[in-house]
Structure 1
Amino acid sequence: MDSTDLSVLNTTIDWLEAGRRTALATVVETWGSSPRPLGAWLAIRDDGQVVGSVSGGCVEDDLIDRVRNGELANDVPELVTYGVTRDEAARFGLPCGGTVRIVVEPEPDLATLRILRERIASKRLTARELDTCTGRSTLRDATRGDAFSFDGRVMRTIYGPRWRLIVIGAGQLSQYVCDMALATDYELIVVDPREEFAEGLANQAITFRRDMPDDAILDLGVDTHTAIVALTHDPKLDDMALLEALKSPAFYIGAIGSRTNTAKRRERLAMFDLSQHEIDRLHGPVGLFIGARSPAEMAVSILAEITAAKYQVPIVQKRAIAQDDLAQRHDRLDAMSSACSV
């Protein structure tokens, strides 16, 4: 679940528990350019306070006025459309003449929202189905392949971590990668059997496992919504993970290392039961080239590459400097990462 929408859920529950009338707005359809995805949330309190966004700021003011002035239905959800005409698109600041349709719930059910939050906290993928004719909402189990839908009456929104990132290694670089991944809707699993990292990463949102990387990947049931990145800089651990990861349907598989070390890794992997096609799936050196010099900047480049793979965007930011300079820079970053991990 998007971190922004989780904040909306928490705040909505707080407002309702405090006895404040709160409307919940959800993006259900868009045409043209739209800054917010389907299912994005905006909560509007009776005094005009808001949290979240349904248009990046284009139509929020009008929605706030409608809710505060009682212009929307008070008993059942209402469908509101913005930007149907060129004039309206210009009035509400919708880019490129875009159009957005929003379902506004005047009385979201507090008990249902509480259960939804509990399910998200326990990492259970959940579908919330809202009947816009009655206002009744129900919760059901969902799968990673499920998506938002709206048929004109029933709105079905998916909550919980739909994407998963498995990180091999619990060093400093892994900490930065995990912090950024948590903010971008990933379920985080860190695997590191080394004694010096027995405490794992100090974040309750991260699942820490001390088994061997290959065993963990087999046990976790990798699917097409999973990314795997090996960051220990120890071939014995990273290679073990890659041997199973490259045979899985994971949408991204990467490993830290310079071009020289990556070439040696590919040679080692070819000695096992991996096809050339499977070995070619490996992203290495890991991350986009952005001139990163610190572990935090390296984490930015890694998450950027994973994001590109997630949305099937061509990965081209690997060629910004000469081959020899790039290899030397990655060797320096490798040394830096190793130093930060001890």
Structure 2
Amino acid sequence: MQSSDLDVLQRAHDWLRLGHRVHLFTVIQTWGSAPRLPGAILVVRDDGHLVGSVSGGCIEDDLADHARKGTLPDHASILEYGVNQAEAQRFGIPCGGQLKIFAEPLHAAEQLAPMLQSLTERRLLKRSIHLYTGEVVLRHVKPEGQPNIDGEWFHTYFGPQWRLLVIGANQLGSILAAMAQALDFHVLICDPREEMRAEWHVEDADWLSGMPDDVVLDMQPDHHTAIVAVTHDPKLDDMALLEALKSDAFYVGALGAVKNQEKRKQRLRSFDLNEQEVNRLHGPVGLRIGSRTPAEIAVSILAELIQVRAQLQINGLAAETRLAAA
């Protein structure tokens, strides 16, 4: 599965090659209960066709209507929705939510080539647009935050800002790896068993050779990294967890029933992990949704990852807002 942003930009690329006028919209900032987070994108062509999303639907309808009328901005602009109660009610933004959106007219398919390449190669691209001249500066970066306006520049990002290391190339690991890519995770797989490597078939997931503990150390997990162990073999899962729980990874989980998890925690305590590190473990991994099949378990794991990641993003946005107000 590929990134949703890749689908959106590929469609815009195709429209531009057919001679359509196209606008790209990116959520810059939200307040209240706005339905999409910063970085969400939407493309709208001149006849009102659209792909992507910046809200629950009403703002998309308004932008499509402006496109059909030819009244979308002809230069880079900032749009605000829901700035008062009447407008929030008109556009269906819940609980007084507000949106600030960057609107950018696209003139040629070639403008999208660097973003498409970064998404395809799963490399993070920082795209900076000057608010008054339209100048664009591109560079590859490590994860550094949300889209933002800094002085006269709007900075946005294309490519995976989150990594998921899966320990275990079994059926669950394969399904988890495929699904996670659609959620904009850069997926990495580690399994030292040669027979598992020979049968691996998930495209675009990077295979990391070596023993799980060495792989975790080498990749240097940061606050944008999740690690999930699904081999069901303590000799492999525990090796990864010993290093993962000491790292900066925002999520560490392991497959296994409640009793097995208690035994695992006892084993981890016998090494050099302290109680705080052991308690970071999500185990049994995933949300409790009654999952049984590998696909259902993968859904439960990803649901919990989404939950934890969203909370981190919300906390990060709140911190940015406090700093901006200071």
Do both proteins adopt the same fold according to a TM-score greater than 0.5, normalized to the shorter chain?
Answer: yes
Q: Structure 1 stretch 215-224 or stretch 60-69: which is displaced more? A: 60-69
Q: Structure 1 stretch 101-110 or stretch 127-136: which is displaced more? A: 101-110
Secondary structure of 1:59's counterpart equals: helix
Question: CA deviation digits over 1:84-134, x for unaligned, max 9?
Answer: 332222222222232223222123553342012212222221111111212
CA distance in 2 between partners of 1:159 and 1:236 (Å): 37
Letter of the structure 2 residue corresponding to residue 63 of structure 1: L
- The residue aligned with 1:57 is 57
CA distance in 1 between partners of 2:108 and 2:31 (Å): 29
Larger Cα-atom Rg: 1
- The residue aligned with 2:176 is 177
Alignment RMSD (CA, Å): 2.0
Does structure 2 conserve the Cα–Cα contact (< 8 Å) formed by 1:191 and 1:208?
A: yes
Query: What's the % identity of the aligned pairs?
Result: 50
Secondary structure of 1:237's counterpart equals: helix
In the superposition, relative to structure 1, how do residues 259 and 28 fare at CA in structure 2: closer, same or farther (>3 Å)?
A: closer
Q: How does 1:173-212 map to 2 (within 5 A)?
A: 173-199=172-198, 201-212=200-211
- The residue aligned with 2:69 is 69
Does structure 2 conserve the Cα–Cα contact (< 8 Å) formed by 1:232 and 1:238?
A: yes
In the superposition, relative to structure 1, how do residues 30 and 224 fare at CA in structure 2: closer, same or farther (>3 Å)?
A: closer
- The residue aligned with 1:336 is none
CA distance in 1 between partners of 2:109 and 2:300 (Å): 40
Letter of the structure 1 residue corresponding to residue 68 of structure 2: R
Calculate the TM-score normalised by the size of structure 2: 0.88
Question: CA deviation digits over 1:59-84, x for unaligned, max 9?
Answer: 1222112222222333x223322223
CA distance in 1 between partners of 2:297 and 2:96 (Å): 38
- The residue aligned with 2:222 is 223
Q: How does 1:96-175 map to 2 (within 5 A)?
A: 96-108=95-107, 110-151=109-150, 153-175=152-174
In the superposition, relative to structure 1, how do residues 282 and 102 fare at CA in structure 2: closer, same or farther (>3 Å)?
A: closer
Does structure 1 conserve the Cα–Cα contact (< 8 Å) formed by 2:63 and 2:72?
A: no
- The residue aligned with 1:286 is 285
- The residue aligned with 1:316 is none
Letter of the structure 2 residue corresponding to residue 54 of structure 1: V
Does residue 8 of the first structure (1) align with residue 16 of the second (2)?
no
- The residue aligned with 2:46 is 46
- Give the gaps of 5 or more residues in structure 1: 314-342
Letter of the structure 2 residue corresponding to residue 12 of structure 1: A
- The residue aligned with 1:94 is 93
CA distance in 2 between partners of 1:124 and 1:227 (Å): 17
Q: How does 1:5-44 map to 2 (within 5 A)?
A: 5-44=5-44
In the superposition, relative to structure 1, how do residues 108 and 201 fare at CA in structure 2: closer, same or farther (>3 Å)?
A: farther
Letter of the structure 1 residue corresponding to residue 7 of structure 2: S
- Give the gaps of 5 or more residues in structure 2: 313-326
In the superposition, relative to structure 1, how do residues 233 and 21 fare at CA in structure 2: closer, same or farther (>3 Å)?
A: same
